[in-house]
Amino acid sequence: MKITFDEKTSDRIKAFGDVDLVFDFDHTLSEVNTEVDACGGGISRYRIVAVEKGNVPEVFDASIDSEFGPIYYKGYGSYFFQDEMSTKINPSYNLI
């Protein structure tokens, strides 16, 4: 699997500096853990979270290749990914 980021998204990610990146689709890395029902559409919103290099929690046991190195995620979520993915910024909502 691989993900390619558009220029605007890449610029935002570069601003994080030397970090590891995580797709957090169930709020594992939130200060307040929000319950998510995957069947109810909870895994329709991904967050890209920057964590201190080398400190990705073990629960993020899979990764996707990117120009920034691996982006970690929980392996059970691979069902929701495609082999080749890309992003773009939606200017209406300022979301990726």
**pLDDT 10s digits, 56-86:** 999 999 999 999 999 999 998 888 888 999 9
Q: Which residue has the tokens 């890449």?
A: 10
Answer for the pair 19, 13: CB distance below 8 angstroms, yes or no.
no
List domains and CATH numbers for the chain: 2-86 (2.60.300.12)
Higher local confidence (pLDDT), 29 or 31: 29
- Give the integer Cα–Cα distance in Å for 87 and 53: 23
pTM: 0.80
